[in-house]
Structures are given as structure tokens and as C-alpha cells.
């Protein structure tokens, strides 16, 4: 019979190991940036992903359920049961996911939320200087209202004969439907047409590969260099003007990601893109108002953002092929105008 002290040691070690393992698997991305300024939106609906043993699970209201589109929509429908479609689409979501999760799971979430119709997803991260405090990075969910057509076109282009949903499932498993529960197109029926309502015509791609490899315009770069290159690209595209940009001037930055890129790498690149916009906006703010961007009031900040709208996308292969081959046009048009 083993000594009781030995049994206590085994039990203690098992519990300790379990706690450490759980902490490691739920660790948020760790980022060093002064632009993680988005505070916690306590009214936002929290989505949590747990990733252990190469498997993802939703943790919704503290309960583990399978990582599927259906489970997400059932949860959101229950949360938004008292809201109309317009209020639902304005409601923010926030996502907590571990830094080691492969990015294809988060691409699923992005597409599912895009189909559902919410506009904003706030990504929870830790700022390196304050590791015990959660910060949130806002991510706009850009619309795509031709998903079934895009899937059909993609299948034909790749010599496939699958249905639209079967084509989509090859890239985004655990999807049950391509039709929105809430009509996302309602987001676009606003008196003031915002830049994200337009179909992209001018896209710059940033490619993320495994082993922390990042490529921009065929050149391998690190996140710090990437930020400077994007800032320069914005200045060239918008000609350093602080006047409101016209739709034909809009520049989209699209993240093309290999499926097993870790979330941490994606977060570092996303922050670099955010910083590039903020640094460019700083230049415009000094030129126009002789003040730092963050010292401007809300109206002044919006005027600076209108001169260089922050259009960060992550179109998958299906959407991207359809945009570049079927939606190319010399005349800017909105997703709402698309027939």
C-alpha cells in the first residue's frame, strides 16, 4: 500500500497539471501595441472557443458544445430574441480564443458571423505591458451578399460538380447553411453609404504562411516592417490628402491565410495593419488640425478616417475568386446594388 503522503502528492500533481494545461490552452494572444485601446464592451455577446487535443469547442454561457454554425446561431438567436434585425446587426460580439488555435477555426467564425449579419467582432488579447488585463481589438465584418453564387462559380472554376454548400464545406466544415438567419443586406440600407458597403476593386494582399512567414507584394517581411509598408501604401494610394476619399479610391487590405497559421501570428499581423492606419491618420491629423489624432474630437476623427477608410478584409478563396473574376468593374458599386 502506498504511503498516504505519496497519494496526496499524486493528487496534487494531477490537479496542478490540469490547471496549468487548461491555462495554457485558453491563453489569449499576447500583443505589444498602444492601439489596443478598445475597452471591454460589457453589452457585447461573448463567444469563447476552447482548443485542446487538436479539437475546438464552443464555450457559450459556460457550457461546452460542438463547434458548429448551428450551435452558434442557436446561441445568438437566444441572446437576441427581444431585438429586431436592425438592432441585432448593430450588436457587438466579442471573441476569446487561445493563441495556438489554427486560424481556419477563426475564419469559420468570421464567415458565420458574416452570414448572420453582425458588423463588429472584438478580439480579446493581452497587452504585453499589462498581461493580466484583457484588451479588445475591433474587427469589422465586411459584407459579402453573393455567397451561393460565389460557391457555384468556384466549383465550376475548379472543375467541381458539388452544390454550393458542399463547395463551402470543403473550406469551412461544420457549416449547415449559407442563408443568413438575419438578413445581412439590411446592414447596407443606410442613408449614408459607408466605405465597407462597396464591392472591393483595388485589393492589396498580405499572405500568412506557417512558421511565422508573412509576404507582401512577393517579399517576406516581419510585422514591424509590414506596418511601415502599409502606411506607405496608404499614403501613395490616397496621395496624403485629408479630403474625403471617393469610392474609386478605396483600398482594401486582404489577409490570405494558410489554414494552420496560429492565431497569435494572425493577431500580430492584424495589429500591424491597425497601427499602419493609425500612424497614417496621425500624419493627416497634424496636417489638417495641427493636433495628434487621439486628441481630436469624434467629428474630426471621422473626417480623418473618411480620407483613408480602414478596410481590412479576410476573404476566403471562394469569395476572393468571385470578387476578382466576376465583380471587377470600373464603376464603383455597392453590395446592395449587386443583382
CA distance 334 to 143: 10
Measuring CA to CA, which residue among 307, 286, 318 is closest to residue 115? 318
CB 151 within 8 A of CB 157: no
CA distance 247 to 187: 18
Q: Output the pLDDT for position 181.
A: 57
Which domains occur in the chain, in start order? 29-196 (no CATH), 201-314 (3.30.420.270)
CA distance 60 to 68: 12
Q: Which residue has the cell 440600407?
A: 189
User: Taken in order 124, 125, 129, 132, is the CA torsion positive or negative?
Assistant: positive
**Angle in degrees, CA 135, 101, 209, rounded to 5:** 100
Q: Output the pLDDT for position 28.
A: 93
Local confidence pLDDT in tens for the 339 residues of the chain: 445 455 454 444 444 444 443 444 359 999 887 766 556 677 899 999 999 999 999 999 999 999 999 999 999 999 999 888 888 888 899 999 999 999 999 999 999 999 998 989 999 999 888 777 788 888 999 999 999 999 999 999 988 777 899 999 999 999 999 986 555 555 555 567 899 999 999 999 999 998 889 999 999 999 889 999 999 999 999 999 999 999 999 999 999 999 999 999 999 999 999 999 999 999 999 999 999 998 999 999 999 999 999 999 999 999 999 999 999 888 999 998 886
CA distance 194 to 120: 14
Q: Output the pLDDT for position 5.
A: 53
CA distance 178 to 214: 31
CB 121 within 8 A of CB 113: yes
The beta-strand segments (E) located in 128-282 are 130-140, 203-209, 213-216, 219-221, 252-257
The beta-strand segments (E) located in 160-240 are 203-209, 213-216, 219-221
Q: Give φ, ψ of 273 to 5 degrees.
A: -70, -40
SS3 at position 96 = strand
Q: Output the pLDDT for position 182.
A: 57
Q: Output the pLDDT for position 15.
A: 44
C-alpha of 272 from chain center: 14
Amino acid at each position: 500500500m502506498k504511503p498516504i503522503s505519496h497519494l496526496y502528492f499524486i493528487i496534487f500533481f494531477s490537479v496542478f497539471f490540469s490547471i496549468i494545461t487548461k491555462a495554457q490552452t485558453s491563453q489569449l494572444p499576447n500583443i505589444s501595441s498602444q492601439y489596443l485601446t478598445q475597452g471591454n464592451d460589457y453589452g457585447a455577446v461573448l463567444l469563447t472557443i476552447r482548443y485542446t487535443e487538436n479539437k475546438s469547442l464552443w464555450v457559450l454561457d459556460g457550457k461546452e458544445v460542438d463547434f458548429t454554425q448551428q450551435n452558434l446561431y442557436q446561441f445568438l438567436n437566444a441572446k437576441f430574441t427581444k431585438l429586431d434585425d436592425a438592432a441585432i446587426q448593430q450588436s457587438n460580439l466579442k471573441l476569446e480564443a487561445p493563441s495556438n488555435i489554427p486560424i481556419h477555426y477563426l475564419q469559420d467564425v468570421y464567415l458565420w458571423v458574416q452570414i448572420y449579419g453582425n458588423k463588429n467582432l472584438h478580439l480579446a488579447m493581452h497587452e504585453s505591458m499589462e498581461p493580466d488585463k484583457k484588451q479588445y481589438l475591433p474587427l469589422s465584418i465586411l459584407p459579402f451578399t453573393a455567397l451561393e453564387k460565389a460557391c457555384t462559380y468556384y466549383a465550376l472554376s475548379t472543375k467541381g460538380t458539388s452544390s454550393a454548400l458542399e463547395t463551402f464545406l470543403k473550406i469551412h466544415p461544420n457549416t449547415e447553411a449559407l442563408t443568413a438567419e438575419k438578413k445581412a443586406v439590411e446592414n447596407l440600407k443606410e442613408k449614408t453609404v459607408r466605405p465597407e458597403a462597396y464591392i472591393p476593386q483595388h485589393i492589396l494582399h498580405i499572405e500568412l504562411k506557417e512558421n511565422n512567414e508573412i509576404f507582401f507584394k512577393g517579399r517576406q517581411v516581419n510585422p514591424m516592417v509590414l506596418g511601415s509598408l502599409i502606411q506607405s501604401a496608404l499614403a501613395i494610394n490616397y496621395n496624403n490628402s485629408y479630403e474625403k476619399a471617393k469610392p474609386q479610391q478605396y483600398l482594401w487590405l486582404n489577409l490570405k491565410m494558410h489554414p494552420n497559421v496560429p492565431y497569435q501570428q494572425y493577431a500580430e499581423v492584424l495589429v500591424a495593419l491597425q497601427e499602419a492606419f493609425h500612424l497614417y491618420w496621425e500624419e493627416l491629423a497634424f496636417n489638417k488640425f495641427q493636433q495628434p489624432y487621439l486628441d481630436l474630437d469624434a467629428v474630426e476623427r471621422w473626417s480623418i478616417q473618411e480620407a483613408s477608410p480602414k478596410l481590412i478584409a479576410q476573404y476566403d478563396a471562394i469569395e476572393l475568386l468571385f470578387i476578382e473574376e466576376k465583380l471587377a468593374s470600373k464603376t464603383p458599386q455597392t453590395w446592395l446594388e449587386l443583382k
